[in-house]
Amino acid sequence: MAIESEVVKHVATLARLNITSEELTTYTEQLSNILGIMDQLDQVPTDGVEPMSHAVDVQIPERDDVVTNTNNQSAMLANAPDSEEGHFRVPKIIE
């Protein structure tokens, strides 16, 4: 299936990826090619087949409701590009 560059633009916005007009052209072409392979799935008889989300058939384990972590603020902020007074710092969020 060919894909419109408008759709690619929208997808880039959803994915929060700034793309140049050049990249838009490349991605539009490449995604169209890739989606061309995807269309092979149309031949697969999937009616009534249970979707498979997990590689193995197990159930979720549950843990006890116990607090196991202690204050680790400095380690949690150590990799932050910008932080201030124990907080992560980001450009002003306008609500």
C-beta pairs of 89-92 under 8 Å, 24+ apart in sequence: none
Site for other proteins in 10-69 (CB under 8 A): 10-19, 23, 27, 30-31, 33-34, 37-41, 43-44, 46, 49-56, 58-69
Burial class from Cβ neighbours inside 10 Å (0-12, 13-18, 19+) for residue 8 reads buried
Site size toward other proteins, by CB under 8 A: 70
Q: Least distance to other proteins from the beta carbon of 2, Å?
A: 13
Nearest Cα residue to 2 out of 41, 35, 43: 35
| Site for other proteins, rule CB under 8 A | 3, 7-8, 10-19, 23, 27, 30-31, 33-34, 37-41, 43-44, 46, 49-56, 58-69, 71-73, 75-82, 84-95
